[in-house]
């Protein structure tokens, strides 16, 4: 029997599933305000929790003409922006807010997931679908592409005008989004107009995960990789080049469905990617693997001693560098899990 591969999959995802998947990722599925532990050394963390509880309480009230979503719904809908460094718990708090409001009433997704949703459904249907929610949460707000800047700004304005509450996270204050990335006045004006919608909640603190951006990833010998894959029913095996070619024919909104039932992904032929469009598709796939906690086995052959050279030095210095370093960090964590599994499983 041939080894299953992701390239053999052609996922078809109905609209209702795309919308149903706008929930906090698996590793934040059980988080709440109660599980967030503010650092006493940084008062802004506790202050953020208090303010977000207030927002959640207001949004959780039953809708009614005299309530929060009554006649003045559009004017009253809050918009909060969680600003802070890596590892201070922004995503934890954003997920907690979504859970407190209720996943039936709140949509939760990354910036990229929302732009992909618009690409899959169209702008109007996306506004209609999200406009029925009380809260839309945007994690990892990014403005490294002019087209996406205009698209997301328009989408959020439409939702805010309909009275939908907004909450977002980023590592940059709204007024500074896009600085140094592109200088066109039109896009800066879009950023400034968007910034005015948000109440900024600054969250200070140290990275509680003590992570460092790294290009290193644990690898395993090719023979060992194939041995582990052959012993599991939920594992896939793909050449990275062939997989990236396949991804060009699958809409990014379907990358999550591509991983249905997959518990381990094995990659051979891991070589540098030198095209920006291909690299960005790889970033989305890594994000979906990370959201689903799917370990990755990386074949040692082809990987240099200096690390996982997936992206060129020019890419790592360019406007999308934040995406690329995030992908390397996440893939490194998933590869470490995969290598640990390979070390545990007895040889066939």
Task: Give 163 or 1, the one with higher predicted confidence.
Answer: 163
Beta partners for 165?
Answer: 135
The owner of tokens 């997931």 is 113
Report the alpha-carbon distance of residue 179 to residue 200 in Å, rounded: 18
* Model confidence, pTM: 0.82
* Beta pairing, strands 264-268 & 165-170: unpaired
Mean pLDDT over 175-189 rounds to 45
Backbone angle region of 102, left / alpha / beta, with phi > 0 → left and psi within -120 to 50 → alpha: left
- Whose CA is closest to 219, among 174, 173, 269, 161? 269
DSSP 39-101: -TT-HHHHHHHHHHHHHHHHHHSPP-TTSTTSTTHHHH--EEEEEE-TTSSHHHHHHHHHHHH
Question: CB-based contacts of 303: which residues, under 8 Å, 6+ apart?
Answer: 217, 219, 270, 309
Mean pLDDT over 52-60 rounds to 93
pLDDT at 186: 45
pLDDT at 305: 55
CB 1 within 8 A of CB 232: no
What confidence tier does 149 reach under pLDDT thresholds 50, 70, 90?
confident
Q: What are phi and psi of 110, to 5 degrees?
A: -80, 165
Task: Give 16 or 183, the one with higher predicted confidence.
Answer: 16
Q: What dihedral do alpha carbons 42, 46, 49, 53 form, nearest 10°?
A: -160
Q: Which tokens sit at 125?
A: 């249907």
Percentage of the residues of the chain whose pLDDT score is greater than 70: 82
Could you report the per-residue pLDDT of 271-286, keeping only the tens digit for each?
889 899 999 999 999 9
Q: What is the CB-side half-sphere exposure of residue 112 using CA atoms within 13 A?
A: 19
pLDDT at 175: 54
Q: Point out the least confidently predicted range of 59-73, 238-252, 272-286, 315-329.
A: 59-73
């Amino acid at each position: 029997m041939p080894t299953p591969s992701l390239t053999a999959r052609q996922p078809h995802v109905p609209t209702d599933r795309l919308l149903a998947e706008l929930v906090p990722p698996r590793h934040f599925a059980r988080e709440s305000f109660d599980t967030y532990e503010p650092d006493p050394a940084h008062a802004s963390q506790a202050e953020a929790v208090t303010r977000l509880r207030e927002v959640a309480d207001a949004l959780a009230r039953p809708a009614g003409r005299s309530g929060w979503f009554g006649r003045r719904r559009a004017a009253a809908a809050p918009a909060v922006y969680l600003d802070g460094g890596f590892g201070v718990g922004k995503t934890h708090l954003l997920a907690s807010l979504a859970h407190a409001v209720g996943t039936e009433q709140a949509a939760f997704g990354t910036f990229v997931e929302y732009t992909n949703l618009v690409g899959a459904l169209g702008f109007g249907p996306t506004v209609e679908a999200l406009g029925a929610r009380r809260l839309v949460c945007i994690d990892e707000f990014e403005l490294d592409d002019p087209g996406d800047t205009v698209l997301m700004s328009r989408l959020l304005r439409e939702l805010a005008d309909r009275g939908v509450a907004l909450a977002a996270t980023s590592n940059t204050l709204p007024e500074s989004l896009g600085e140094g990335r592109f200088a066109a006045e039109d896009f800066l004006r879009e950023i400034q107009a968007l910034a005015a919608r948000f109440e900024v909640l600054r969250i200070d603190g140290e990275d509680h995960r003590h992570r460092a951006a790294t290009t290193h990833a644990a690898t395993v010998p090719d023979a060992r990789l194939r041995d582990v894959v052959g012993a599991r029913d939920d594992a896939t095996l793909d050449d990275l080049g062939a997989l990236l070619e396949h991804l060009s024919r699958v809409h990014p909104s379907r990358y999550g469905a591509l991983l249905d039932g997959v518990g381990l992904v094995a990659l051979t032929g891991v070589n540098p990617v030198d095209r920006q469009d291909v690299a960005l598709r790889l970033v989305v796939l890594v994000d979906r693997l990370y959201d689903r906690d799917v370990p990755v086995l990386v074949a040692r052959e082809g990987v240099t001693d200096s690390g996982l050279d997936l992206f060129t030095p020019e890419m790592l210095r360019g406007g999308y560098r934040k995406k690329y370093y995030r992908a390397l960090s996440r893939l490194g964590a998933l590869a470490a899990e995969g290598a640990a599994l390979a070390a545990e499983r007895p040889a066939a």
